[in-house]
Structure 1
């Protein structure tokens, strides 16, 4: 935790303090100067690519690509490739960057990802501008929502992708209506995501706000996320991840997982989720694994959480499966991911369902070292009571635990 805080302060006050946007030490690369039309209809991809290549190869410290205000840019799938010559490089979005709205426009292009920053060190994406994924037509084609529809789409673009980057920051941006995940941090380290606003309709499938996987030393902080899926999700091979000061809702809460879908060995540890306000979400804090998974999830903390009409406030689901396109009714397996050393502390508010604490652990591989402390969850319906349900969950309690704990010693 201390290392993460030091890292965040270093990013905010150290790495970028001497090179704030538009300082005299930098060179500006405005996409308009590279041929962008900014009419929202003409493909500006080549202009963005040219501006990035010029900035990335510039010898000056902190070159900055600028996407100017009050302008709409249409950009097709594009990769901003590193490494760059400067130790720091900024991508300042003040206007709006739009993805093509029709899935047919993606034919022959990368339909898995929209914008990719790959192999960049010292990247700063900022500017109070907007990334608009125009995902509504994709949602209508999603196999997740339409599993029986002929020709439904299994590959759908994720909007803003940070891949194999280091010591980088995403801050003060808006991302709306991504076709799939909005912000993805993948195979990266020492990443700060701060003051990000993410919005998509509650009905939009798989529109996770911020997804972290295969990454280490990531801080997601001080953001507002309202989507159709997880506000923040943490995937495979991730460690030392902190999620804090998030307003979440609507959406599916903050989730670790799902993990182990392909029977692989899971290694997720040192995940700390704190100061989260859930408003009308499907879940609060959740860990979800597939029965065929192996490996471990350990050293997890969920602290200082407030709940407003949350359906599943505290949830471990080790029976995550897919039967004919639907979840549930899973056949028991002899395998499982070992979940251990998980702390739930200072979690208060209301549940919209009868089961406020549901620790549904594997029958084959028990959850161990679970600790509940200072829990007070009540029904959001006057006169109703809430309960706890546990399966093979072992641990301890301290302080007030309401509803009454069902943990086994």
Structure 2
């Protein structure tokens, strides 16, 4: 009987042990399934922007990638070769570029790739923005060339390549450039134009031999240009390096501008323009204007140009206005300008006329609060030329640390109806400046 009891207790203990083990195993499996559900998001929780996030969670698990990036590219990169571009320098690749843009345009923060090692022939092309997503990058690593035959260009065509009405557009290059023929038959288009766009970045590109302006911004805001090169011969007329019109919040720096007209041209409607660390020459210098042509109203304000080197240019820093205009240029500073062999380093010309004859007018664009600081180097004709309107004098013209020496013969500074102050002695002495302020009212815009 005792043996039977002992045997029964052993059997009961074994049964209880097995039952307990089964319960623990079930709980363990249940816990593992819960954990897997938390670390593996459902398919619909993977976002289009390339990262995975579990619904209701704001963080990712460290050390674990929930999706993989495709090798050799991604859904946000669009290569023109994949859309039919040949890149042989002879085939017209315009249609392929348009197709690539149409695809990239649909994806936010996409990149359109123009690969290195190829030459792409493009006719006139417009990369239009309405309906495009924001923050598109145009990666120019190859070379783009323009056709030279007369039949390739429509009469009156104003630009070769343009980007219009975009919110966030970047053109960048590691070694890419755009090349035209300066002697194009029958037409003189601007090489690259941006219109009606915001947050525009141009960096690293070279434009060669444009028959008109190299780089132009119309009605743009928040513009940044850096490491840009314009390369055209001195005898190529109207080939501004960079042309600004009706654009605000513009930054231009670390660029080399060689052309046949203004290295930078700042036209009406521009404000908050900052230019620094730029090499200019050959060319006509950095100019505000011409303003007020055809009795028009012109407004330019808050412009700073500093740390610029001018070599063999027509002028250094210049403000030019037509007679008969209205409006104002105010709040301008030119500082730390080094000139070498410049015809006229400092110029205000309110009698500007690019034709053979312009009639005298009494009204003028008002020029006020212009600062010239630390402008040094050599000139070939006149060191300072300040020719202000008969009817509306320049006022608030301030000069300091001016040291300009002749390459050959001395010439005296010229002033006409110019009011301001000399904050330091100058070389040569600028004795023609009228001290104080003009009693005539400055017209605000």
TM-score bracket relative to the smaller structure: 0.7 to 0.9
Instruction: Determine if the alignment matches structure 1 residue 27 to structure 2 residue 76.
Output: yes
Indicate which of 415, 435, 438 corresponds to 1:390: 415
Displacement of 1:38 in angstroms is 1.2
Secondary structure of 2:339 counterpart: strand
Alignment of 1:233-272 (within 5 A): 233-272=265-304
Instruction: Decide whether aligned partners of structure 1 residues 227 and 171 sit closer, same or farther in structure 2, where only a CA change above 3 A counts.
Output: same
Segments of 4+ in structure 1 off by > 3 A?
22-26, 83-86
Cα distance change of structure 1 residues 25 and 36 upon mapping to structure 2, 3 Å threshold:
closer
Q: Does the residue aligned with 2:239 lie in a helix, a strand or coil?
A: coil
Equivalent position to 1:113, from 159, 164, 171: 159
Within the alignment, does 1:376 sit opposite 2:422 as a pair? no
Identify which of 95, 117, 120 aligns with 1:46: 95
1:126 pairs with 168, 172, 175, which one?
A: 172
Alignment of 1:397-408 (within 5 A): 397-405=422-430, 406-408=432-434
Stretch of structure 1 that moved more, 128-137 or 206-215: 128-137
For 2:150 and 2:424, the matched residues in 1 are separated by: 53
State the shift of 1:385 in Å.
Answer: 2.1
Corresponding residue for 1:68? 115
Deviation at 1:156, TM superposition (A): 2.2
Following superposition, the deviation at residue 368 of structure 1 comes to 0.6
SS at match of 2:192: strand
* TM superposition score normalised by structure 1: 0.86
Write the distance in 1 (CA, Å) between the matches of 2:425 and 2:72. Answer: 53
Residue number in structure 2 paired with 1:4? none
Tell me the equivalent position of 1:297.
329
Q: Deviations over 1:142-162 (max 9, x none)?
A: xxxxxxxxxxx5x62101101
Other-structure match for 2:315: 283
Match of 2:393?
Answer: 366
Q: Which residue of 1 aligns with 2:142?
A: 95
1:229 paired with 2:278, answer: no
Given that 2:334 and 2:372 are in contact with CA atoms closer than 8 Å, whether structure 1 keeps it comes out as: yes
- Structure 1 residues 231 and 344: alpha-carbon distance in aligned structure 2, compared to 1, 3 A threshold: same
Q: Distance in 2 between matches of 1:190 and 1:200?
A: 27
User: How far 1:332 sits from its partner (Å)?
Assistant: 2.4
Secondary structure of the structure 2 residue equivalent to 1:100: coil
Deviation at 1:289? 0.7
Rounded to whole Å, the distance in 1 between the matches of 2:388 and 2:370 is 13
Task: For 1:90 and 1:318, locate their aligned partners in 2 and report how far apart those are by CA, in whole Å.
Answer: 42
Counterparts of 1:84 and 1:244 in 2: how far apart (Å)? 35
Higher share of residues assigned strand:
1
> Quick one: higher RCO (CA 8 Å, sep 6+), 1 or 2?
1
Match of 1:334 in 2: 362
Q: 1:350 aligns with which of 360, 374, 378?
A: 378
Structure 2 CA distance, aligned partners of 1:357 and 1:26? 58
Is contact 1:26–1:64 with CA below 8 Å preserved after alignment? Answer: no
Q: Return the TM-score normalized by structure 2.
A: 0.79
Q: Distance in 1 between matches of 2:296 and 2:154?
A: 32
- Closer, same or farther in 2 for the Cα pair 1:26/1:240, shift >3 Å? farther
- 1:80-106 deviations in Å (ceiling 9; x for gaps): 011455431100111111112234420
Distance in structure 2 (CA, Å) of the matches to 1:338 and 1:172: 37
How far 1:26 moved relative to its partner?
Answer: 6.4
Kept in 2: contact 1:131–1:176 (CA 8 A): yes
Deviation of 1:43 (Å): 1.1
User: What SS does structure 2 have at the residue aligned with 1:111?
Assistant: coil
Counterpart contact for 1:219–1:242, Cα < 8 Å: yes
Question: What's the offset of the Cα at 1:386?
Answer: 3.0
Aligned partner (choices 204, 224, 234) of residue 192 of structure 1:
224
Cα offset for 1:225? 0.7
Offset of residue 62 of structure 1: 1.8
How many equivalent residue pairs?
363
CA RMSD of aligned residues (A): 1.7
Greater C-alpha radius of gyration: 2
- In structure 2, the residue corresponding to 1:51 is in which secondary structure? helix
CA distance in 1, matches of 2:99, 2:183: 30
**Shift of residue 263, structure 1, vs aligned partner:** 1.0
C-alpha contact 2:132 2:166 (8 A) present in aligned 1 = no
Any stretches of 5+ residues in structure 2 without a counterpart? 1-70, 436-445
